[in-house]
Structure 1
């Protein structure tokens, strides 16, 4: 039942909805599949609920339901299990969990969006599997379901016929990956362009802006140092240089970073430079030597070492990842020792 769907028949996507479901968890994937139909796809989407009743989302929007989940006797190519803010009560709702199990038993692939991973876990479908969820709830998923290997920094994870995705909009990333699997990279790329989204957001879900994601320092002198690094990552930002810029000793500068940033000065500089390099790799075809020079790494080899240490892949593999949703291409590029 988990075999690859035929490309000649319409691909059936079934979305489970329930009271309080998050609207974007539902609408994001549906829009991807609907857009794919404009580029040669043949997706048919239906919504089901545990009791067949229409539902109201957490945003207050009503959703029409086509069928009772447990009464389906046909096979879905994709089943989508969205999340919602009421997941703590949903994981105790036998009707919802029975619907999840029934849908999975009649699906080729079952995918959760955001906190929908908790429903899969509560239904026993993630036992012994790798999975992800919204970064805010990853620790709770791991603690509540220790039989699940949680990959908190992934946008989506596939383990067998089960896929899980991270927070909210990552359901679009997951759905684009499925479109690419079903219809090829050209169609997925066309859909991404039509929806004005990345083919796949590079990096993990924790790759937020270093400067905005870091704690705001209390000391004005430290804020000036951080701003200088962010404004020009390629400049000289040694500990001694930063200390002179702030008018303090190197020991005091190190202590400031430790107390207010919970990291070393060198670590902060590397994070900013990593982010700058990621942006260049995502948006240009500049040679690696140019990327290394403009982001402060100096040489392609230093750039490669930083990427391998921080992301586990080479800069070249990272650039490939931005071009496609296919994570196997990234893994293959890394295994093959793709040149930086």
Structure 2
């Protein structure tokens, strides 16, 4: 008869549990990524959603109670375990990613885990913490598009991508967070327990399919890697955050600490066009992505892209891509217009 591994025990040959994860939430962690990850494991671990840790195991670890960015308090089950007793340590970050320091115990623990050969997972901004401990050198980090610029500013020597939902680098896995954390957990379930248990979890979550690691994050600007002007890069980031309700160029200039004329000069020097034109392009790319990846109506996509109505969106879309929104959607090779 097979036996289960107790809390804190690494899955071993002959044990029922195929792998174990220690989830380490940090203060101000994002609940969506944390809960999506652990719930995907829970639903795969036992039949009928009964939550027993049979096929895989997990524990919530840490030194003190922490709060999610939404205010929910979480008390760890145990102190951080010996890294050799788990297969993965998932660092769950959140809104404190701009703090450029972290507790000494966290650096020490993550380095000990790396030395033990335990795979480190950065969930949401947890990749910042792994990088801050000096453990991402020579690797590529996958981060959410909203924090891409900040990560690059803090860790200029680390290649950073936001064109996928997670990236497996062997003993380092980085995940953009949000709903992508569920896909990452299902990826681990498939790897260790088989596709059927991943499907079991999907069915319980009322999802149709598991997304691959390279599924695109819905970001709609070109890579800003070659843009040297930090003000322009920050403005582009702000544009991404305000696609559905575009801000005025006056407000964009105010937020960047300069006049509209100065900002326009900076954009022309970096991108060869004024910020208003680039902003329009970003919103149209968002609309194009929605046309390909959703079944939403053109009118709804137009409104969500910050256009006053479907006719306005239609006119601007045709100018930019040389095809109407409906033709673009029906073209199986639609992405060639991008």
TM-score by length of 1: 0.61
Aligned length in residues: 250
> C-alpha offsets along residues 12-56 of structure 1, whole Å, 9 cap, x if unaligned?
11111334333333322111111111349611111221xx33334
- Aligned partner of 1:196 in structure 2 is 206
Query: Any residues of structure 2 matched to 1:26-37 within 5 Å, and which?
Result: 26-37=34-45
Match of 1:148 among 129, 153, 158: 158
CA RMSD of aligned residues (A): 3.7
Q: Cα gap change, 1:84/1:175 in structure 2, threshold over 3 Å: closer, same or farther?
A: same
User: What SS is found at the alignment partner of 1:199?
Assistant: coil
Q: Distance in 2 between matches of 1:134 and 1:271?
A: 16
Q: Distance in 1 between matches of 2:118 and 2:336?
A: 35
- Aligned partner of 2:33 in structure 1 is 25
Shift of 1:269: 6.5
Query: Any residues of structure 2 matched to 1:177-188 within 5 Å, and which?
Result: 177-188=187-198
User: What SS is found at the alignment partner of 1:88?
Assistant: coil
Shift of 1:163: 0.8
Judge conservation of contact 2:83–2:118 (CA < 8 Å) in 1.
Answer: no
Q: Distance in 2 between matches of 1:68 and 1:137?
A: 29
Q: Distance in 1 between matches of 2:324 and 2:147?
A: 38
- Aligned partner of 2:327 in structure 1 is 296
Q: Distance in 2 between matches of 1:76 and 1:199?
A: 25
Matched, 1:59 2:70: yes
Judge conservation of contact 1:5–1:108 (CA < 8 Å) in 2.
Answer: no
User: What SS is found at the alignment partner of 2:107?
Assistant: helix
> C-alpha offsets along residues 150-184 of structure 1, whole Å, 9 cap, x if unaligned?
00222111112211111333211211221122223
Judge conservation of contact 1:82–1:116 (CA < 8 Å) in 2.
Answer: yes
Q: Distance in 2 between matches of 1:188 and 1:295?
A: 35
User: What SS is found at the alignment partner of 2:294?
Assistant: helix
Q: Distance in 1 between matches of 2:116 and 2:243?
A: 42
Q: Cα gap change, 1:98/1:56 in structure 2, threshold over 3 Å: closer, same or farther?
A: same
TM-score by length of 2: 0.61
Shift of 1:73: 5.6
Q: Cα gap change, 1:296/1:72 in structure 2, threshold over 3 Å: closer, same or farther?
A: same
Q: Distance in 2 between matches of 1:152 and 1:186?
A: 29
- Aligned partner of 2:61 in structure 1 is 48
User: What SS is found at the alignment partner of 2:174?
Assistant: strand
Query: Any residues of structure 2 matched to 1:323-334 within 5 Å, and which?
Result: none
Judge conservation of contact 1:215–1:260 (CA < 8 Å) in 2.
Answer: no
- Aligned partner of 2:320 in structure 1 is none
